Amino acid sequence: MLRIARTLSIGCLSFLLFLLPMNSPAANTLIDNITAQVYFSPMGGCTDAIVQEISQAKQEILVQAYSFTSKDIAKALVAAHKRGVRTVIILDKSNQSKRYSAADFTFNMGIPTYIDAKHATAHNKVMIIDKETVITGSFNFTKAAEERNAENLLILRSKELAERYIANWEKHKQHSQEYGGRR
């Protein structure tokens, strides 16, 4: 089992963001003092790292995901919600299927859940915790992502970066519909 977790020098991340084209929405993003942890799957500890971050949340967890099927991540989100952490989830429209989905699960657990049907696919994989920690990367919140897929996960600590992700999350929530469960 290979587990890789590294803290990056954020000067290099700031430099990479500086290299973005000037017409990019992120062109003006030069952020200092970011702490980053990097994980890779399969079997690289991505799920454990996400669960650890969720378990430390004190105020708020905002989620944008295509879906999620990881029982460990789902349990951690429910536990956070039950201990009073504001938890809100935006999922892709594929969760409005005839089968039981992540949207059904989170709705049934009392977590406000929204469906983003504006896009062909709402394929984000983002969690923003306590307006300071951003979890992102190609890592889907699934068992397959941890055990079989080659994926990456970044855990970034920066209030400034989190603000940008929150603004994007809010933009998507505005055009999403609150999920009311299967009928």
Phi, psi (deg, nearest 5) at residue 39: -130, 155
Residues designated as active site: 123, 125, 130
Residue bearing tokens 């400034």: 160
> Would you say the C-alpha torsion 56, 138, 102, 118 has a positive or negative sign?
positive
- List CB contacts of 147: < 8 A, sequence separation 6 or more: 41, 42, 43
- The residues pairing with 62 across neighbouring beta strands, listed in sequence order, are 88, 128
Q: In what order do the strands lie in the sheet with 35-41?
A: 6-7, 35-41, 151-157, 133-136, 125-129, 60-65, 86-92, 113-116, 177-178
